[in-house]
Amino acid sequence: MKAILTGNEAAAWGARLSRPKVIAAYPITPQTSIIETIAAFIANGEMDARYIRVESEHSAMAACIAAQNTGVRTYTATSAHGLALMHEVLMWASGARLPIVMSVVNRAMAPPWSVWTDQLDTMAERDSGWIQVYTQNNQEVLDSIIMSYKIAEKHNILLPTMVIEDAFILSHTSEGVDIPEQKKVDDFLGEYEPAFKLDPDEPAGFGSLIMPEGPYMEFRYKMALAMEDARSEIRKVVEEYNQVFGREYAPFVEEYKTEDADAVMVVIGTIGSTAKDVVDRMREKGKKVGVARVRYFRPFPAEELRKIAKGAKMIGVVDRSYSFGPGADLFAETKSVLYGHADIPVKNYVMGLGGRDITPRIIEKVFDDMLSVAKDGVVDKEVEWVGLQGDERWS
């Protein structure tokens, strides 16, 4: 069924089609319309789920953890401050190995207050043990939720998953979306089979104390293995989904004209769409540029990026967040996986913070800068903040 949906409506549809039994959620701009749409689905009898209208995001995640541990599929959604408030229990969900699926609508962190897109909120949770998939359009939002349940629920994975969309650019913008048939989704996902559950017939304590000589470290190692195993499961599930539902998702990195590119821009989220248009325009002028849009930030697509770097003369990494470390997160991790594999310059472009518009014109200027780095073979300035007020270079 074709429909015109905002990103948030698409997220609500993704949840609806996946048939979670318990939903616990708390409103925050720009996530709110996800949970309102779901409330309407339930009120109309279109969705059979218990909806816990919790008093905070911390409780939303805690209730999902408890419900999932009791043996049912769960769903929640949040943004920025809500995600930050969840931080403690995000770690709990992954450590408890509960395949919860959550939508996160990227929003800037305050102060100053800003409800617009910025990826610091999810980047700050990169070490929470959650799988993270970033989307580029509303169709991908919907599809990724369904795929995420299937991947996360595999008994060799059991890691919760964030399906991430940019605020407003996706969340509140309408696009044509193909809503898959319920029957097809049911067949694709199957009944939820918990790997373990709270059961009065099998008394057990979930999450008890472990001494340093106990297997704490081993349980963490098992999580690391699961995140590694997720690579092959993601590949399989994405392929299957493409086949069943007629899509063309690349599992980890969506490449656009990278094969013969001198300068490849590595991006995440909706910047990908803008960048692709700019690439077309620049190619017409004979400039050899390409885009690699990272979908999964966790697990991090190390092999894929190394392969891309093999043919390129330089890599420019665009981050819509800043981490106060050696550059922003996507840059730092890209550079670290390339180390020892590709001896080419890597430069970080920090832009679009707090929802500042990333225009084709700015992207083109960044590409030009990248091409000059490719030509010189050296990075003049490793971390470049692009588009600061008063800086004429980018306008």
Chain residues that interact with other proteins, rule: CB under 8 A: 21-22, 24, 49-50, 52-56, 58-60, 62-72, 74, 88-89, 92, 95-97, 155, 158, 195-196, 198-200, 202-211, 214-215, 218-219, 221-222, 226
Q: CB nearer to other proteins: give 221 or 339.
A: 221
Please tell me whether the peptide bond between 345 and the residue prior to it is cis, using omega within 30 degrees of 0: no
Question: Where are the strands (E) in 303-343, listed by range?
Answer: 314-319
Shortest distance in whole angstroms from residue 138 CB to other proteins: 29
Q: CB nearer to other proteins: give 130 or 394.
A: 130
Interatomic CA distance for residues 371 and 262, integer angstroms? 7
Q: CB nearer to other proteins: give 81 or 320.
A: 81
Element (H, E) at 105: strand 101-106
Residue 372 makes CB contacts below 8 A (sequence gap 6+) with: none
Q: Tokens 């979908």, residue?
A: 295
Q: Tokens 């999932």, residue?
A: 68
The angle formed by the CA atoms of residues 163, 165 and 168, to the nearest 5 degrees, is 155
280 half-sphere exposure, CB direction, 13 A CA radius: 6
Shortest distance in whole angstroms from residue 19 CB to other proteins: 11
| β partners of residue 256 | 291
Q: CB nearer to other proteins: give 3 or 91.
A: 91
Residue 310, phi then psi, degrees to nearest 5: -50, -45
Interatomic CA distance for residues 131 and 99, integer angstroms? 10
Interatomic CA distance for residues 46 and 49, integer angstroms? 10
Token digits of residue 321: 């967040």
Q: CB nearer to other proteins: give 211 or 378.
A: 211
Shortest distance in whole angstroms from residue 86 CB to other proteins: 11
Q: CB nearer to other proteins: give 219 or 339.
A: 219
Q: CB nearer to other proteins: give 94 or 144.
A: 94
Which residue, among 256, 284, 30, 296, has the nearest Cα to 151 in the 3D structure? 296
Contact between 23 and 49 (Cβ < 8 Å): yes
Shortest distance in whole angstroms from residue 233 CB to other proteins: 15
One-letter amino acid of 392? E
Shortest distance in whole angstroms from residue 132 CB to other proteins: 20
Shortest distance in whole angstroms from residue 250 CB to other proteins: 29
Element (H, E) at 296: strand 296-298
Shortest distance in whole angstroms from residue 275 CB to other proteins: 39
Q: CB nearer to other proteins: give 59 or 273.
A: 59
Which residue, among 124, 120, 122, 134, has the nearest Cα to 164 in the 3D structure? 134
